[in-house]
Amino acid sequence: MASLAACSPAATEPDTKPPAPATAGTPGAPSDGASAAPGAPAGGSDLSLTQAIAKIPTADESRNGYKRDSFRHWIDEDKDGCSTRNEVLLTEATEKPEQRAKCAPTGGEWLSYYGEVTVTEARTLDIDHMVPPAEAWDSGASAWDSDRRMRYANDLGSERSLVAVTAHENRGKADKDPSEWMPPAAPAKCTYLANWTATKLRWKLSADNKERAALEKLATNCSNTVVKYEVAA
């Protein structure tokens, strides 16, 4: 995600396990290709969703030692006075809001693409980590140092890593992977799968057998979906 400019009241993901490169399903048809939904990609080699899923390494998952505060988030990484949360809100607004102190948005409009819900109050939005921190921990982030986990939690280098969604949708997703939760809106499903897969590849995270089986099964409905990603430094 391109950085814009701390903070309005920060909605967060639940403490249960709870844009850049990947293209997903066009709204209206889960099997369609490119999408303009939040999280659509930029750069990298084009892969089919099935090819991209095959590149995710397989490994068992472990929650041992996980703490939510292992992933420090909503920082002002570029020191421009705007927190990661507000950077995402300003970038993803479908109607540009005005900005109060420290970039906090007022007015404006957003599309929470998981459920195709239009939102006009920024304070009712959560910023969802595409792959929740607990899932990232299970999938390899437990071996990272604190700086890398902070960069993961505030990843503005890929538009798919963080997305503004309703608090209801974010809490429904919690820390679940696609074997346990998928967006309720049919047009969002292929976009979501592409963004999930691209995030795993970007951060070199693994998938366990249950997650991989679900991804492969769900991908059969997204034959024209293209995934692009760039590996994070």
- pLDDT tens per residue, range 183-231: 999 999 999 999 999 999 999 999 999 999 999 999 999 999 999 999 9
Model confidence at 24, pLDDT cuts 50, 70, 90, reads: very low
Q: Where are the domains of the chain?
A: 47-227
pLDDT of 27 > 80? The answer is no
pLDDT of 125 > 70? The answer is yes
How confident is the model at residue 28, as a pLDDT?
32
pLDDT of 117 > 60? The answer is yes
Rounded Cα distance, 162 and 230, in Å: 15
- What are the angstrom distances between the C-alpha of 123 and each of 74, 86, 99, 190? 15, 11, 13, 27
pLDDT of 44 > 70? The answer is no
pLDDT of 82 > 50? The answer is yes
Tell me, what DSSP letter sits at residue 128? Answer: E
For 71-100, b/e burial (b = at least 16 CB within 10 A) is bebbbbeeeeebbbbbbbbbbbbeeebebe
Model confidence at 68, pLDDT cuts 50, 70, 90, reads: very high
Model confidence at 154, pLDDT cuts 50, 70, 90, reads: very high
* Least confident range of 23-27, 107-111, 156-160: 23-27
For 181-197, b/e burial (b = at least 16 CB within 10 A) is bbbebebbbbbbbbbbb
Rounded Cα distance, 49 and 218, in Å: 10
Rounded Cα distance, 154 and 74, in Å: 6
Average pLDDT over residues 50-75: 97
| Paired residues of 126 in beta bridges | 165
Task: For the chain, give the mean pLDDT.
Answer: 85
Model confidence at 142, pLDDT cuts 50, 70, 90, reads: very high
How confident is the model at residue 45, as a pLDDT?
66
Backbone φ and ψ for 154, nearest 5 degrees, come out as: -125, 35
Copy the structure tokens of residue 198.
Answer: 């691209």
* Strand stretches in the chain, DSSP E: 47-48, 98-99, 105-106, 110-112, 117-119, 125-129, 162-166, 226-227
More confident residue, 126 or 27: 126
Percent of the chain's residues with pLDDT above 70: 81
pLDDT of 47 > 80? The answer is yes
Model confidence at 15, pLDDT cuts 50, 70, 90, reads: very low
